Amino acid sequence: MRQIAIYGKGGIGKSTISANVAAALAEKGLITWYVGCDPKSDGSMTLLRGQRAQAFLEMMKGTGQGKPYEVAVGYGGVRCVEVGGPLAGVGCAGRGIIVAVQALSKDHFSKENIDVIIYDVPGDVVCGGFAAPLRERYADEVYIVTSGEYLSLYAANNIAKGLRNLNVKLGGIICNSREVEGERNVVAEFASQIGTRMIAFIPRDPVVRECENQGMTVIECAPASAQASAYRSLAEAMMRNKDFALPRPMEPEDIRALLRGSMA
């Protein structure tokens, strides 16, 4: 069973990529789970035709820990769980995802024939949720989503620092394009300098928003589109990937120098 965690700066498109990768894997017949911990439920919602999955912690609060809870089933049979958490701004220090994943592991992950679990978790290193799946050793593969913009690369570099502190190897960088000049080369060079590689370049395409407005992933809503092919290629690359390395974070000024060099 592959257990994959996908991180990235807030708003970079991490949930969109996670949901589309889950849909692409399910399309191939793999038994796939999607575990998010964003109260917005924006990833699982596109797997569930726009419906919001009741958060795991909400169900546990209503039924009491140890009692039955429901797991939503979405496109291609993807099992969708949203951990939920406290009110915005309160923070949970990762306790929510730990409680949820421990229960899911006991009731499902250790008993069922599962091919892939994708964890879509906050990438902010000041949030304890960042480290929870890795610290508890539930996820053992990591990918970072970024664009060619400075703040996205800065956040990706901070996540790389967190992985190094946790002694966790990185499987690659996913560039979710913002159509920045020279973006592909910048992100590929950033990946190289921190000791990994750019595993995929996802183009910017309005079809993503059109499909999300329909409450669907691109894989489901526009299966013949070039964007769907890009997500399928990423899913294939992740499944084939055996190239993992402990990242070597850059200094922030070196990231700026990289960006300045790309514009020279």
Q: Which residues are catalytically annotated? A: 9, 14, 40, 124
Cα distance between residue 22 and residue 87, in whole Å: 27
Q: Rg of the chain's alpha carbons, rounded to an integer?
A: 18
Rounded to whole angstroms, the Cα distance separating 212 from 205 reads 12
Contact predicate 219/24, CB 8 Å: yes
Cβ–Cβ under 8 Å, residues 36 and 79: no
Single out the residue of 22, 252, 214 nearest to residue 114, CA to CA.
22
Strand partners, 120: 6, 36
Give the strand pairing for 172-176 and 141-146: parallel
| Strand pairing category for 32-36 and 116-120 | parallel
Give the SS3 label for residue 8.
strand
